[in-house]
Amino acid sequence: TQSIIWQINEETYRLKLEAEAGAPPASKPGLQVYYGSTHDILSYPCEDGKLELVQAASVCLHNAHGQYIENVHLQTYFNEQQFWDVLYKEQYSKILRKAEDFLDVTGGPGDDVMVFISCGMDACEHEYESMSRHNRKVPTSFYHRFARDARVLSDKYARGRLISVLEGGYSDRALMSGAMAHISGLVDETQLQGKIDEEWWNVENLIKLEKATKKRRSGRPSLTPAANDPWLERAVEIFQSLDTSAKTLIPAASSRLLAPSTMTLRDRKSGSSTPSVSPQPSADRKPGSVLPSFGTESSDSSSSSEGEISVPKKLPRVILRLGPDPSLSSPS
């Protein structure tokens, strides 16, 4: 993402320099983008210490060569008070302050401003240890606080236009807790009158949710929410509504857009092949003028749920041709 944004800003800056030198001005202003990221410099793609990758993930450059970039490295924290009073206040929230500086020097609030968040749940305290080997984590409440602060920024500069996407996360508990906290932070608290409670994503409630949403082989939930636990009942209801939407919308769109493929993949069992449709959605994109982008950097993974409409896969046929055994060749 940083590389793409660098190229966009580079082209805009080139047009600006040419106009200052007397060239005809461009028909419309070039796109300017701010990029901010909070990430673990010890993990992928910098885990091997490659010079060019570590340098790129450490760039901090503002209003020079037309670039606006802020990279902040995650640090180990010892308790939540130290995290909020030191790390978040002094370091992690810096990417939001730099976003404000960028917007102030490039025209301020307007209809040409939009905020994007790329949310990496693999930095969550509940992520698998194998995926967080360097202990560069954040408490779950970080996703609530950062989303809330980003929403305030978008209200001030972008008339509330904010797009958030899931970028990474592997553990179900990390994804569940992080998504719950993040979405709660995007909600305007003045309309809820303080109804958001950070206890929603504590470990006890997460265990309840995991039991209530886990499916048996039959496809039925392993636990029905207790009638005397309205929070759990409501949470499961919301989860199920989101899951139902995915089941009904995605396969329908795929079947409308794509024609069947003629390529097949031989099955492990003899004499069988499976026809398939592979979804390839496309959409037109309209350019904006300013696109601040910031979030925690990570990798993404996807999963499927039982009970979804099944569309058999069809992949290219793979043929492996082996040469003669080298051990049987006579020495030359």
Least confident span in 41-55, 181-195, 302-316: 302-316
Enter the DSSP assignment of 327: G
- What is the three-class DSSP state of 80? helix
Calculate mean pLDDT across residues 3-14: 95
Report CA dihedral (291, 292, 298, 303) to the nearest 10 degrees.
Answer: -50
End-to-end CA distance of the chain: 53
Q: Which CB contacts under 8 angstroms, 24+ apart, belong to 49-56?
A: 56/2, 56/3
**What is the rounded CA–CA span in Å between residue 51 and residue 214?**
44
pLDDT at 236: 80
Res 264 pLDDT > 70: no
Q: What percent of the chain has pLDDT over 90?
A: 50
Highest mean pLDDT among 70-74, 115-119, 267-271 belongs to 70-74
- Tokens read off for 130: 């194998």
Among 253, 251, 222, CA closest to 236: 222
H or E stretch covering 164: strand 162-168
Indicate the DSSP class of residue 196.
-
Cβ partners under 8 Å of residue 204, min gap 6? none
Asked whether residue 86 carries a pLDDT value surpassing 60, the answer given is yes
pLDDT at 309 over 50: no
Residue with the bigger pLDDT between 327 and 206: it is 206
User: Does residue 81 register a pLDDT over 60?
Assistant: yes
Task: Tell me phi and psi for residue 54, to 5 degrees.
Answer: -65, -40
Of 57-61, 63-67, 197-201, the range with the lowest mean pLDDT is 197-201
pLDDT in tens, 162-219: 999 988 889 999 999 999 999 989 988 777 666 788 888 999 999 988 888 776 555 5
pLDDT at residue 147 above 90?
yes
- Confidence label for 230 from pLDDT (cuts 50, 70 and 90): confident
- The whole-number average pLDDT for the span 9-35 is 92
* Strand order from edge to edge, sheet including 60-64: 60-64, 67-73, 35-39, 293-296, 115-120, 162-168
- What values do phi and psi take at 124, rounded to 5? -65, 150
User: What percent of the chain clears pLDDT 70, i.e. is strictly above it?
Assistant: 67
Q: Who has greater pLDDT, 245 or 188?
A: 188
Residue of 293, 295, 294, 292 whose CA lies nearest to 112:
292
Tell me the β-bridge partners of 35: 69, 293
Q: DSSP assignment, residue 35?
A: E
> What are the tens digits of pLDDT across the range 94-140?
999 999 999 999 999 999 999 999 988 999 999 999 888 899 999 99
For residue 74, is pLDDT > 60? yes
Mean of per-residue pLDDT scores for the chain: 78
pLDDT: which is higher, 91 or 326:
91
Residue 41: count of CB within 10 angstroms of its CB: 19
Class of residue 311 by CB neighbours under 10 A (exposed 0-12, middle 13-18, buried 19+): middle
Lowest mean pLDDT among 193-202, 283-292, 320-329: 283-292
pLDDT at position 36 over 80: yes
Dmax over CA atoms of the chain, in Å, equals: 85
∠ CA(30), CA(38), CA(197), 5° rounding?
110
